[in-house]
């Protein structure tokens, strides 16, 4: 039997919320139990707040490396200001730090071939400054996946992906990397944010 937490449950919601929210709920439950329950039930009632402590710790652990909105804005601005060669170096450095073997490609819709655990992924990064990316360039990238016997592909853009591109990504082995993921790559490459 496979147990899966409902996305709408209280604990799933708290796991997505900032970590301190779970601690605030824990404190509120403990205070209410301590103030309003009869003396015989105060301790068990206050212990009922313990699951919120656990959820808060798990949420804090998951969120320890999450970039703030201000940091994402600074890093995406830095990425927008880069020339292709500088951005390619950043992507290559970040992917190597994540454990990928990276091979730059000189032609076609893919700019990098990355490999980890025997799985090859093609990465299209030259459209990182595009205001919008439609489905057609993604179809070209997917055709390369088949011809090069890759496992999947990824496309990066600081702009928006068209609705058709999003639908295509849901149906194919294709990952769309937007501003948050690009900011994470710039961060992982070890470049300080420019002020």
Average pLDDT on 136-159 reads 92
Class of domain 69-188 (CATH, top level) = alpha beta
Record the pTM.
Answer: 0.68
75 near 193, Cβ under 8 Å?
A: yes
- Summarize pLDDT for 8-52 with one digit per residue, the tens: 888 888 888 888 899 999 999 999 999 999 999 999 989 999 999
CA 75 to chain centre: 15
pLDDT bracket for residue 67 (50, 70, 90): confident
**Nearest alpha-carbon partner for 193 in 43, 90, 39, 45:** 90
**Nearest to 163, CA basis, from 187, 134, 136:** 134
pLDDT tens digits, one per residue of 84-115: 999 999 999 999 999 999 999 988 899 999 99
Residue 195: pLDDT band with limits 50, 70, 90:
very low
- pLDDT at position 3: 64
Residue extents of the structural domains in the chain? 10-62, 69-188
What's the DSSP call for residue 41?
A: G
Span 179-193, average pLDDT? 83
Whether 193 shows a pLDDT value over 60: the answer reads no
User: 135-147 and 163-171 are packed helices; what angle lies between their axes, rounded to 10 degrees?
Assistant: 20
% of the chain exceeding 70 in pLDDT: 95
């Amino acid at each position: 039997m496979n147990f899966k937490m409902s996305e709408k449950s209280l604990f799933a919601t708290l796991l997505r919320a900032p970590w301190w929210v779970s601690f605030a709920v824990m404190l509120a439950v403990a205070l209410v139990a301590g103030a309003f329950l009869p003396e015989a039930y105060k301790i068990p009632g206050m212990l009922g707040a313990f699951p919120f402590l656990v959820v808060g710790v798990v949420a804090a652990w998951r969120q320890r490396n999450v970039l703030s909105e201000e940091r994402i804005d600074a890093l995406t601005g830095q990425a927008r200001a880069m020339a292709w060669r500088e951005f390619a170096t950043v992507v290559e450095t970040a992917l190597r730090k994540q454990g990928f073997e990276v091979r730059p490609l000189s032609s076609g819709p893919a700019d990098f071939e990355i490999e980890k655990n025997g799985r090859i992924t093609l990465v299209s990064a030259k459209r990182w400054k595009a205001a919008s990316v439609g489905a057609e360039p993604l179809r070209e990238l997917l055709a390369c996946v088949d011809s090069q016997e890759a496992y999947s592909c990824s496309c990066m853009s600081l702009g928006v992906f068209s609705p058709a591109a999003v639908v295509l990504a849901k149906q194919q082995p294709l990952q769309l990397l937007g501003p948050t993921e690009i900011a994470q790559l710039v961060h992982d490459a070890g470049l300080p944010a420019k002020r």
